[in-house]
Chain A
Amino acid sequence: MTFSTATENKLQEIWARYPEGRKRSAVIPMLMYAQDEVGQVTSELVAEVAKRCEVTPLQVEEVVGYYSMLNKERMGKHHVQICTNIACLLMGGEELWNHATKRLGIGHKQVTADGLISLEEVECAGACSWAPCVVDGYEYHHHATIEKLDRLLDSIQKVN
Chain B
Amino acid sequence: MFNDPHPDEVRVISKRFGLPNSASIDTYLANEGYVALMKAIEMSPEQIIDELKISSLRGRGGAGFPTGMKWSFIPRDNPKPKYVVVNADESEPGTCKDRLLIENDPHQLIEGCLIAARTIGCKKGYIYIRGEYRYLIDIMDKALAEAYAHGYLGKNIKGSGLDFDLYTHTGAGAYECGEESALLESLEGKRGVPRIRPPFPAVAGLYASPTVLNNVETFATVPAVLRMGGQAYADLGTPKNGGTRMLCVSGHVNRPGVYEVPLGFPMHKMIYEVCGGIRNGKKLKAVIPGGSSSPVLRAEECDFPMDYDNYARMKTMAGSGGMMVMDEDTDIVKVALRTMRFYAHESCGWCIPCREGTTWLRKILTRMDEGTGRRADIDLIHELAKNMLGRTFCPLGDAAAMPTIGFVEKFREEFEARLRETTVPVVSPDQLISIS
Is there an interface contact between A91 and B131, defined as CB atoms closer than 8 Å?
no
A89 vs B331: C-alpha distance when bound (angstroms) = 10
A134 at interface by CB-CB < 8 Å = no
Is there an interface contact between A135 and B324, defined as CB atoms closer than 8 Å?
no
Query: Which residues of A lie under 8 Å from residue B133 when comparing CB positions?
Result: 126
Choose one: B171, B191, B292, B330; the contact of A62 (CB below 8 Å): B191
Is there an interface contact between B335 and A89, defined as CB atoms closer than 8 Å?
yes
State how many angstroms separate the Cβ of A144 from the closest Cβ of chain B: 14
Interface centre among B124, B169, B249 (most CB of A within 10 A): B169
Query: Which residues of A lie under 8 Å from residue B322 when comparing CB positions?
Result: 87, 128
State how many angstroms separate the Cβ of A106 from the closest Cβ of chain B: 20
B248 at interface by CB-CB < 8 Å = yes
B96 at interface by CB-CB < 8 Å = yes
A69 and B135 in contact, given A87-B94, A87-B250 (Cβ under 8 angstroms): no
A33 vs B171: C-alpha distance when bound (angstroms) = 11
Query: Which residues of B lie under 8 Å from residue A140 when comparing CB positions?
Result: 135
Interface centre among A69, A84, A87 (most CB of B within 10 A): A87
Is there an interface contact between B130 and A86, defined as CB atoms closer than 8 Å?
no
Which one of A1-9, A24-32, A110-118, A148-156 is at the B interface?
A24-32
A70 vs B248: C-alpha distance when bound (angstroms) = 29
Choose one: A32, A53, A69, A84; the contact of B338 (CB below 8 Å): A84
A67 vs B193: C-alpha distance when bound (angstroms) = 11
A127 at interface by CB-CB < 8 Å = yes
Is there an interface contact between A29 and B170, defined as CB atoms closer than 8 Å?
yes
Query: Which residues of B lie under 8 Å from residue A26 when comparing CB positions?
Result: 189
A89 vs B341: C-alpha distance when bound (angstroms) = 12
A91 vs B249: C-alpha distance when bound (angstroms) = 13
Is there an interface contact between A126 and B250, defined as CB atoms closer than 8 Å?
no
Choose one: A65, A67, A129, A138; the contact of B96 (CB below 8 Å): A129
A116 vs B130: C-alpha distance when bound (angstroms) = 26
Q: Per-residue CB proximity of B138-181 to A under 8 Å, as 1/0?
A: 00000000000000000000000000000101111111000000
B258 at interface by CB-CB < 8 Å = yes
State which residues 122-140 of A face B: CB under 8 Å: 122-131, 135, 138-140
B28 at interface by CB-CB < 8 Å = no
B346 at interface by CB-CB < 8 Å = yes
Choose one: B90, B170, B342; the contact of A126 (CB below 8 Å): B90
Is there an interface contact between B91 and A126, defined as CB atoms closer than 8 Å?
yes
Is there an interface contact between B131 and A123, defined as CB atoms closer than 8 Å?
no
Choose one: A69, A129, A139; the contact of B250 (CB below 8 Å): A129
State how many angstroms separate the Cβ of B404 from the closest Cβ of chain A: 13
Number of interface residues of B (CB under 8 A): 57
A91 vs B1: C-alpha distance when bound (angstroms) = 18
Whose C-beta in chain A lies nearest to the C-beta of B192? A66
Query: Which residues of B lie under 8 Å from residue A99 when comparing CB positions?
Result: none
Is there an interface contact between B189 and A55, defined as CB atoms closer than 8 Å?
yes
B326 at interface by CB-CB < 8 Å = yes
Is there an interface contact between B81 and A19, defined as CB atoms closer than 8 Å?
yes
A126 and B189 in contact, given A19-B124, A29-B170, A89-B335 (Cβ under 8 angstroms): no
Is there an interface contact between A138 and B248, defined as CB atoms closer than 8 Å?
no
Is there an interface contact between A90 and B345, defined as CB atoms closer than 8 Å?
no
A152 vs B133: C-alpha distance when bound (angstroms) = 20
State which residues 188-202 of B face A: CB under 8 Å: 188-192
State which residues 48-72 of A face B: CB under 8 Å: 53, 55, 59, 62-63, 65-70
A86 and B338 in contact, given A28-B186, A32-B131, A123-B346 (Cβ under 8 angstroms): yes
Is there an interface contact between A90 and B171, defined as CB atoms closer than 8 Å?
no
A77 at interface by CB-CB < 8 Å = no
B207 at interface by CB-CB < 8 Å = yes
Is there an interface contact between B169 and A25, defined as CB atoms closer than 8 Å?
yes
State how many angstroms separate the Cβ of A125 from the closest Cβ of chain B: 6
Choose one: A28, A68, A124, A127; the contact of B189 (CB below 8 Å): A28
Whose C-beta in chain B lies nearest to the C-beta of A143? B256
Query: Which residues of A lie under 8 Å from residue B207 when comparing CB positions?
Result: 19, 22
Query: Which residues of B lie under 8 Å from residue A55 when comparing CB positions?
Result: 189
State which residues 106-136 of B face A: CB under 8 Å: 124, 126, 130-135
Is there an interface contact between B1 and A130, defined as CB atoms closer than 8 Å?
yes
Query: Which residues of B lie under 8 Å from residue A33 when comparing CB positions?
Result: 170
B95 at interface by CB-CB < 8 Å = yes
B229 at interface by CB-CB < 8 Å = no
Binding site for A on B (CB under 8 A): 1, 81, 90-96, 98-99, 124, 126, 130-135, 167, 169-175, 186-192, 207, 248-252, 256-258, 288, 292, 322, 324, 326, 330, 334-335, 338-339, 342, 345-346, 348
Q: What 19 additional pairs, Cβ within 8 angstroms, besides A59-B189, A126-B98?
A: A17-B167, A22-B207, A29-B169, A66-B348, A67-B192, A69-B132, A85-B292, A85-B338, A86-B324, A87-B251, A87-B324, A89-B335, A90-B250, A90-B330, A126-B130, A128-B93, A128-B248, A130-B96, A131-B250
Q: What are 21 of the A-B contact pairs (CB < 8 Å)?
A: A19-B124, A19-B207, A22-B188, A22-B207, A27-B189, A28-B172, A29-B169, A62-B190, A63-B172, A69-B172, A85-B292, A90-B250, A90-B252, A90-B326, A123-B91, A124-B94, A124-B175, A128-B95, A130-B1, A138-B135, A139-B135
